[in-house]
Structure 1
Amino acid sequence: MTKIPIYRPYKLSSKIILFSFLLFMIGCVEPYEGEVADYEDVLVVNANLTNELTRQEVRLTRSYRFEEDGPRGESNAQVQIIGDDGSVYPFEETDPGTYLSLETFAARPDIAYSLSIETQEGRSYTSEAMQLPSTTTLEDLYAERTTNDDGEEGIGIFVDSYDPEAQSRYYHFKFEETYKIIAPYWSPYDAVVISEGEDTFSLNVIQREREEQVCYATDMAKEILIHSTLGLAEDRITRFMVRFIKNDNYIISYRYSILVEQHVQNPAAFAYYETLRGLSKSSENIFSEDQPGFLGGNILATDGSGENVAGFFEVSSVDQKRIFFDYEDFYPDEEKPPHTTACLFTAPTTSGRLGERELLNAIYEDRLRFYDYNRNPNETIGTGPFLMIRPECGDCTVLGSNKVPDFWEE
């Protein structure tokens, strides 16, 4: 198996680079509250050329300080993928740090490809040449009611795959899950403030102008899912679980869909992601004395300076499948999972001086949504004129989009 070097410069900036890259690649850790004095600004590359006929994508960002909100896109770079047959595919920036090829193209198995980047500051980088590995069909994608290793009940999403030629061996699975959200306390009406003065105010109840009852949310895989059949008699994957969803998770309350991509990798890419997965599992200890240092990939500065560059240029073959299911398919006689948050009614008062009226302030600050008139004022709920609810309980657009995805099936 190809070895990926892990350099160990004992300075805090290496921890920043690695931690920033882990956040960029998998985004599954809690934010660190604080500041770090030592900092090294490096380019972070996420590029995967596939055998799909599409506009290929390259994402470029910069490492960032822990007190910052997140990575910033590396804009105005010149990006291209070059084949050893003389082909050149230029890219254009479509969003800050996101570059798409000007034309659709697919990687071919007989060509070695390299990534070339030149930043706005004139710094140039190139990757090692990579070739397309064997193509293998994702045989089956299915869901089953099961129990995980911690004894928790839920739905397992499994894949089966088989390469009769035994040429694939290294697999990386990615998924995108989409689920229906129904606001449990939606009302077709909303409360608005018409006017407010020192001694008077005016409220009104109006019809909502957009769909806020049914929405759809999409999440990506937050962990590195790799698997190897190296050393096995057959190049076969059976019941590999790519996702487990606890039975009390609200995302499966109604209708759920998952798209799974199977990427066949070459040994160098697999070794890189295997190392990265190990680092991500210990990322909560990234500030410990036994820190892992900088993870070197296959992208280098062309000036020979040895400048650190985070990321890996990969060429992989892809196959994918999508499935849908409803909660009732697996739990036909059981109550649906609870909503993502507790939904409790409140009836804020309108008393007080200008700027102190609880209900009006909640409407101004969009902290509550109208549900109904308060027909039974009491001390528990409140004595205000309206029954109000948290936004995520009465407006599904807080959690997702009210646009039905193009692929959606009922």
Structure 2
Amino acid sequence: MSLNKIFLLLIISFFVNGCTETYPLLTNTYEEAIVVEATLTNELKNQEIKITKTARFEDTGITTENGAKVIVKDNLNNEYTFEQNAGIYISQSPFQILPGREYTLEITTLDGKIYQSSSEVLTTDTPIGSIEPTVVTSKDKGKGVQINVKSYDPGRTSKYYRYEYEETYKIIAPRWTSMKINVTGPESIELVPNSPDTRTCYSTKKSTDIILVNTNDQAEDRVNLPIRFIEENNYIIGHRYSILVKQYVESLGAYTFHKIMRDIASSSSILSPKQPGVISGNIKCINDPNKNVIGYFGLNTVSSLRIFFNYTDMFPENFPPYFNTCEDIPFLFCFRGDSCEGESMIYNLERNLMIYNSNLGNKYILVDAECGDCTSFSSNVIPSFWTE
């Protein structure tokens, strides 16, 4: 859930909390505000800041705050200017947040409103120690692979951590064949060689949850966080799987802000008795105190680590799973007679709903497209980081 919808959900809850009658989730009480997503890091890169406007609950899209003047300043009088590019504000030149310096964010919108953050400093640089996949069996989730991320700060100055991950997995179409069918006319087809590029694909997905942990109640500043669990019959680990984990060390203020965001997003209902608290960021409108703004200007150290594993590494005795049972679907390729299925067969082939697997004379066996052509739902481009 985006910050826009989270903010709106909180506003609505102020109006409906304590009421017993049904409330239509339409934003008659909508008040526009800007939403700032600004996490700058110690990486030397073009830093990015996202500035949007709050959306109504029923809206499907998000509106970017266009034409804003965005500057980050440090206490040594250095300024870093950001320019809008495809809905995101990107620094004109690469830079990194340095330890020991104080930074502030300043945004001036086209309507003359000036937004300024508090002065922030970079957090402790604590790298990820390891990422460890282990086969486990739980009462609720069954058997699968539990992936834990570990880190340790002997100085006990990190304490507040936020995590993101990006998983990439190899897909091999289980019913791929060396031949395929081309439709050549209303009642004609031909068998031609199939491209091997349709057999193996790679898909990538990013985490969407706000993943947080703090070590305040521990004797050591040590993290051992279960960040991802994958059931043994989930096809994404059916061949080769990779996960890239990013660890952000946050300030107490940033951690508290993200915790409230997480709690709001995870609430099953705006009428839930669980009240996560008031959103309090570190950005204010300095020339109009009544102007709402949601967001946090955070300076985080970040570290990342990637691992790979094969299905056979975890489950050597099992057969790799797939998300489709890939059953044979027979068609009699003719057009005149009660048992003829040529028209239906051509319909499915032309719309890439099914794909050829085998035939005996004019009796053809087709399977669902994803069973024989992985490019029907994924990409056959090998990621640059991929290794076997």
Which band: TM-score by shorter chain?
A: 0.7 to 0.9
C-alpha separation in 1, matches of 2:178 and 2:74: 57
| CA deviation after TM superposition for structure 1 residue 266, in Å | 0.6
Which residue is equivalent to 1:233?
219
Contact 2:117-2:282 within 8 A present in 1 as well: yes
Cα displacement string for residues 323-377 of structure 1 (whole angstroms, at most 9, x for unaligned residues): 111111111111222x12332333456649xxx9433333343322x22343277
RMSD: 3.2
Partner of 2:329, secondary structure, is coil
The 3 A distance-change label for structure 1 pair 74 and 397 is: farther
1:113 aligns with 2:103: yes
C-alpha separation in 2, matches of 1:250 and 1:219: 14
Match of 1:78 among 39, 50, 69: 69
Which residue is equivalent to 2:205?
219
Structure 2 gap ranges (5+):
1-5, 16-23, 337-341
C-alpha separation in 2, matches of 1:350 and 1:116: 71
1:5-404 aligned at under 5 Å gives the runs 12=12, 36-38=26-28, 39-95=30-86, 97-120=87-110, 122-148=112-138, 150=140, 152-196=142-186, 201-208=187-194, 211-237=197-223, 239-282=224-267, 284-286=268-270, 295-337=279-321, 339-347=322-330, 351=335, 357-368=343-354, 370-375=355-360, 386-404=364-382
C-alpha separation in 2, matches of 1:168 and 1:148: 31
Task: Return the letter of the residue paired with 1:252.
Answer: I
Partner of 1:295, secondary structure, is coil
Structure 1 gap ranges (5+):
1-5, 16-33, 378-384
The 3 A distance-change label for structure 1 pair 67 and 276 is: closer
State which drifts further: 249-258 or 294-303.
294-303
C-alpha separation in 2, matches of 1:119 and 1:210: 52
| CA deviation after TM superposition for structure 1 residue 126, in Å | 2.6
Contact 2:7-2:294 within 8 A present in 1 as well: no
| CA deviation after TM superposition for structure 1 residue 191, in Å | 3.3
| CA deviation after TM superposition for structure 1 residue 181, in Å | 1.0
Task: Return the letter of the residue paired with 1:135.
Answer: D
Count of residues in Structure 1 that have an aligned counterpart in Structure 2 = 369
| CA deviation after TM superposition for structure 1 residue 149, in Å | 6.0
C-alpha separation in 1, matches of 2:52 and 2:126: 32
Cα displacement string for residues 21-41 of structure 1 (whole angstroms, at most 9, x for unaligned residues): xxxxxxxxxxxxx97252444
The 3 A distance-change label for structure 1 pair 126 and 212 is: farther
Q: Percent identity at matched positions?
A: 34
The 3 A distance-change label for structure 1 pair 389 and 147 is: same
Contact 1:55-1:105 within 8 A present in 2 as well: yes
TM-score (norm 2): 0.83
Partner of 1:271, secondary structure, is helix
The 3 A distance-change label for structure 1 pair 12 and 48 is: same
| CA deviation after TM superposition for structure 1 residue 132, in Å | 0.4
| CA deviation after TM superposition for structure 1 residue 122, in Å | 4.8
